[in-house]
Amino acid sequence: MNNRLIASSALASMLALGLAGQAVAQAKEKEKCYGIAKAGQNDCANLAGTHSCAGQNKVDNDPGEWKYVAKGTCKDMKGMTEAEAKAQKK
């Protein structure tokens, strides 16, 4: 029974490490793109700090809302970097 528990724990650890590594790799291949999210389709908190969850934006293409997109595609979508969005908000 003890050997079985050790083997199960080791397998679970290896799977968890593999999934964590994959998430890090995916994050490096994506970037935040501001001003392209449709209403209810943002990925997380906005620049104004009026909400902190995904799916809570109320209007299309709000410059303070963002979505993750493939790295290098934001400009093609007419989106902005975080610095550009903050400058526009001022």
- Which tens digits make up the pLDDT trace of 61-87? 999 999 999 999 999 999 999 999 999
Give the structural domain span for 45: 2-89
Q: Specify the number of domains making up the chain.
A: 1
pLDDT tens string 27-41: 579 999 999 999 999
Cβ-contact 39, 77 below 8 angstroms: no
Q: Are strands 30-34 and 66-70 parallel, antiparallel or unpaired?
A: antiparallel
